[in-house]
Amino acid sequence: MQSFLGFIFGNILSSYFPKITERQKSAVSNTLLSEAWTKCLLVLELLLGRFDRRRLIFALRKKHSLQIQQQCIPSAKTKPLPVPEIAAADISPSKFHQITNGLTSPVVIKGFLRDSDACNKWGLPYFQEKLGESVYPAIKDSRQENSENKENKVELIKVRDLLEGISRGEHTYLNNVTQIFADNPFLIEELQLGKLASLMNTKVTNGDCFDVINMFWGVKVREIACTVLLRETFLQYCGTQKMAVNRP
C-alpha cells in the first residue's frame, strides 16, 4: 500500500515539477507518506463503504503502528551500552549524590540490598504461602487485543490461583498491585527501603515509603519481579525484566 501511494505521489510531483530528479522525488514522497498515511486510511475508509471497513481499517492502523514501533527498536546486532557499577561497600550518601546528580542513565549499586528479605525470600512459593488466600481484581489472558470487537473482563481471583496459573504459562494482569503492600505492611519492611533512604539523606516511614510499587509476575522466569520507584530512584529486587535499572 505504501509503495503504491509513493508511486502516486511521485507521478503528481513529476507533473507539477518536470525538472525534479528521482532522488528528490523519492525524498519528498517519503515525507508526504509519513505525514499523510493516517489521512489515506480515512480516505480508504470512505471508499470501502460497508465492506467490513471497521475490521480492515483496524488492521491497517495496527500494521502502521507496528511498523513505527519496529523502527524504534534497536537491531539485535546492536551491542547494549555497559551500565556503570559501584560496589555497595564503596557507597556513601555523598558518593551516591555525586554519581547520581544530573544522571540520565542507570547505575548499579551491586549488592546493596543483597541481605534484604525481599531478595532472599520472595518468589512464587513464598507469595503462595503468605498471600495465597488474598483476593484481588485481575484480567485473565491479558494478551487479548483490545480491539473494537473484544473486551477484557475483570474478575476477582485468589493470589494462589493467580500464581498457579502463571506456573502453567497463563497470562494474567493483576490490577492495582500497590494494594497488596497496603494490605500487607510486612512486605514493605522486607524491602528495606529505610536503608536506601539513609543513603539518600531522607526519611521513610510505612506511610510514605514509596511513590509507586509495581509487582510483576513473570511467566518465563517463574518468579516475582518487584520494581520500586522511590523518589525517582528505581530498584529491582528479584526476577528478570527488560527495563531493569539495578539489581542486588
pTM of the model: 0.50
* Spatial distance between the Cα atoms of 214 and 227, rounded to a whole number of angstroms: 5
Question: In CATH, what is the architecture of 85-236?
Answer: Sandwich (2.60)
* Spatial distance between the Cα atoms of 149 and 69, rounded to a whole number of angstroms: 23
Query: pLDDT at position 238, please?
Result: 46
Torsion of CA 201, 203, 208, 213, to 10 degrees: 40
Query: pLDDT at position 211, please?
Result: 45
> What is the residue extent of each domain of the chain?
2-72, 85-236
- Helix ranges, 74-123 (H): 93-100, 117-121
Query: pLDDT at position 232, please?
Result: 40
How do the pLDDT tens digits run along the chain, 248 residues long?
545 555 554 555 455 445 555 655 555 455 545 545 555 555 555 555 544 555 555 556 666 666 655 555 555 556 666 667 778 888 888 887 777 776 666 677 778 878 888 878 877 788 888 888 988 887 766 554 544 555 667 788 888 888 888 777 777 777 666 677 778 888 878 877 777 777 766 665 544 444 444 444 443 333 444 444 443 444 555 444 444 333 33
Query: pLDDT at position 234, please?
Result: 46
Q: Who contacts 25 (Cβ-Cβ below 8 Å, separation ≥6)? A: 10, 13, 14
* Residue written as grid cell 481471583: 157
Query: pLDDT at position 248, please?
Result: 34
Measured from the Cβ of residue 123, the count of other Cβ atoms closer than 10 Å reads 15
